[in-house]
């Protein structure tokens, strides 16, 4: 049976319909890709409190912990803990005491000059806009603060390292060379915790709080 060829008008309408279909498909793909990109951006943006934010916090906390470990390897962390001056304060401190304490504290610059820990904290954190406190928590003793820059918020990050002190270790300040056991009780920044049956003097947690 004879069938006439499609007219030019029919071919034009067919092409136009195919073009509309293709445009609709491409438009749907663009919208889908935009949605997927937006969902991914929500997950990885640090300010949203998502996975990336927790990962960044853990990384910073690990860096603080590493700073404490590195500064303890050559004994410098123990030395700064024992850097007591006569009169019950730390040597070369000039800043106001932390709330509830009587001993003066170090400035960020001075603490950097006095200790490896201070040097690392200044270069890695202070110079990049971070604020921090450095505290000492000894067994059976009052809290002592080495660096105080304010009251930390609830979101502050904390890392700590334990330093063991022994009776035969000396006070490291220029004003005293007594060993810890012989130091006058009224001048002890950290009290003697253990009895005469052990060479242990005390165990001190060095805590860094950063925000």
Output the CA torsion 41→43→49→54 (10° steps): -120
Classify burial at 115, counting beta carbons within 10 Å of its beta carbon; exposed 0-12, middle 13-18, buried 19 or more. buried
Which pLDDT score is estimated for 31?
57
Answer whether residue 163 is part of any domain: yes
Judge whether 203 and 113 are in contact, CB under 8 Å: no
Burial profile 131-153: b = 16 or more Cβ within 10 angstroms, e = fewer: bbbbbbbbeebeebbbbbbeeee
Domain count, the chain: 1
Judge whether 162 and 203 are in contact, CB under 8 Å: yes
Percent of the chain with pLDDT over 90: 56
Least-confidence region, from 14-23, 100-109, 144-153, 157-166? 14-23
Residue 43 has pLDDT above 50, yes or no: no
Answer whether residue 112 is part of any domain: yes
Give the range of the structural domain holding residue 102, as residue numbers without chain letter. 56-210
pTM here?
0.74
Question: Residue 154: left if φ>0, alpha if ψ -120 to 50, beta else—which one?
Answer: alpha
Burial profile 163-176: b = 16 or more Cβ within 10 angstroms, e = fewer: bebebebebbbeeb
Judge whether 201 and 185 are in contact, CB under 8 Å: no
Residue 3 has pLDDT above 90, yes or no: no
CA distance 194 to 70: 28
Answer whether residue 205 is part of any domain: yes
What are the tens digits of pLDDT across the range 76-124? 999 999 999 877 789 999 999 999 999 999 999 999 999 999 999 999 9
Answer whether residue 21 is part of any domain: no
Answer whether residue 125 is part of any domain: yes
Answer whether residue 44 is part of any domain: no
Residue 75's SS3 state is: coil
Answer whether residue 6 is part of any domain: no
User: 51 is written with which tokens?
Assistant: 């996975």
Instruction: Name which residue leads in pLDDT, 44 or 118.
Output: 118
Confidence of residue 8 (pLDDT cuts 50, 70, 90): low
Answer whether residue 27 is part of any domain: no
């Amino acid at each position: 049976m004879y069938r006439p060829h499609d007219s030019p008008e029919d071919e034009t309408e067919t092409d136009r319909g195919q073009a509309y279909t293709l445009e609709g498909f491409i438009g749907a793909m663009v919208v889908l890709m935009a949605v997927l990109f937006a969902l991914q951006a929500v997950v990885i943006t640090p300010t949203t409190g998502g996975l990336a934010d927790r990962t960044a916090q853990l990384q910073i906390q690990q860096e603080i912990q590493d700073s404490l470990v590195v500064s303890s390897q050559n004994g410098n962390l123990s030395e700064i803990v024992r850097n007591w001056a006569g009169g019950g304060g730390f040597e070369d401190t000039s800043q106001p005491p932390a709330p509830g304490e009587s001993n003066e504290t170090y400035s960020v610059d001075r603490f950097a000059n006095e200790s490896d820990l201070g040097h690392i904290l200044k270069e890695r954190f202070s110079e990049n806009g971070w604020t921090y406190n450095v505290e000492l928590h000894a067994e059976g003793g009052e809290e002592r603060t080495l660096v105080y820059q304010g009251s930390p918020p609830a979101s502050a990050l904390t890392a700590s390292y334990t330093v063991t002190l022994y009776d035969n270790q000396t006070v490291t300040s220029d004003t005293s060379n007594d060993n810890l056991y012989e130091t006058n009780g009224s001048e002890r920044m950290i009290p003697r915790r253990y009895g005469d049956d052990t060479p242990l003097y005390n165990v001190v947690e060095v805590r860094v709080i950063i925000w």
